[in-house]
């Protein structure tokens, strides 16, 4: 357990019992991302509900996940999924377990979402990598440095372990956010009509084990 820093933010592993709170933060924070609008339609409340169901299923089914969160005054203000090397793509069994949450979005949305997820999955690097996401700061708290703190802790862990980081994103302003901490764009594609960036980060020498 870490102690909060001067800004009151504490970046910690997400406890299993806090998953519902973190999933709420992720669903609110990512509700308006272009990919989610393209996949799930124009109704913001519907998008949030679909994302809550999908992220809930993701963390329940993808058991290797090691999510991180940021807390302020005891509340979760940001969260991210972290898939350790070799665990980011669902096995056939995990794919089946995820299907009901996807289908609950409705047949057309589920079709668009599966095209999106297949297109991103097809670009997954062949090399071992730690896969970041979904990542969000709660909707009303973005732009205050919270996401940078979360990403810095993720990158610190990558460097300490000497591991490659990888992620996908759908907003140009996010590309700048990730570049600041050493991610580089390795591919770009239009996926269900939405620009996607694929980003990789090499580990930096830390000068000793942490
Ligand atoms: C992307 C995100 C995690 C960044 O965290 P944050 O706490 O808002 O960002 P910080 O304050 O630490 O850093 C600010 C930088 O983030 C980027 N940024 C991306 N989205 C932003 C937003 N909605 N508000 C403010 N900055 C944003 C900009 O590059 C910004 O730099 P600038 O201030 O020089 O323009 C957060 O904005 C978010 O949750 N966005 C919506 C969901 C999302 O896109 N998640 C990432 C999916 S890959």
Pick the CATH number of 9-117+128-201 from 3.40.630.30, 3.30.70.360, 3.40.50.1000, 1.10.1840.10: 3.40.630.30
- Return the closest-CA partner of residue 40 out of 122, 107, 131: 107
pLDDT category of residue 18 using cuts at 50, 70 and 90: very high
| Average pLDDT over the chain, rounded to an integer | 96
> Which residues contact ligand 1 via a Cβ below 6 A?
29-30, 33, 133, 135-137, 142-148, 169, 171, 173-174, 176-177
In tens, the pLDDT along 159-197 reads 999 999 999 999 999 999 999 999 999 999 999 999 999
- Give yes or no for residue 210 having a pLDDT over 70: no
Domain ranges of the chain: 9-117+128-201
Query: Which ligand 1 atom sits closest to the C-alpha of 149?
Result: 12
What is the predicted pLDDT for the residue at 200?
A: 98
Structure pTM?
Answer: 0.96
What is the predicted pLDDT for the residue at 6?
A: 77
**Torsional sign, CA 181, 122, 59, 26:** positive
């Amino acid at each position: 357990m870490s102690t909060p820093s001067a800004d009151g933010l504490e970046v910690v592993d997400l406890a299993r019992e806090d998953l519902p709170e973190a999933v709420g933060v992720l669903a609110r924070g990512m509700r308006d991302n272009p990919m989610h609008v393209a996949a799930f339609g124009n109704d913001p409340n519907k998008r949030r509900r679909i994302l809550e169901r999908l992220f809930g299923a993701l963390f329940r089914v993808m058991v290797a996940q090691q999510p991180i969160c940021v807390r302020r005054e005891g509340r979760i203000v940001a969260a991210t999924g972290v898939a350790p090397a070799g665990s980011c793509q669902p096995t056939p069994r995990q794919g089946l377990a995820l299907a009901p949450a996807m289908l609950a979005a409705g047949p057309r949305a589920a079709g668009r979402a599966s095209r999106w997820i297949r297109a991103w999955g097809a670009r997954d690097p062949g090399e071992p990598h730690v896969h970041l996401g979904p990542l969000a700061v709660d909707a009303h708290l973005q732009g205050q440095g919270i996401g940078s703190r979360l990403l810095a802790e993720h990158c610190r862990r990558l460097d300490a372990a000497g591991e490659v980081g990888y992620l996908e994103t759908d907003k140009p302003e996010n590309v700048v956010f990730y570049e600041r901490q050493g991610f580089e764009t390795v591919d770009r594609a239009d996926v269900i009509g939405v620009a996607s960036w694929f980003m990789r980060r090499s580990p930096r020498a830390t000068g000793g084990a942490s």
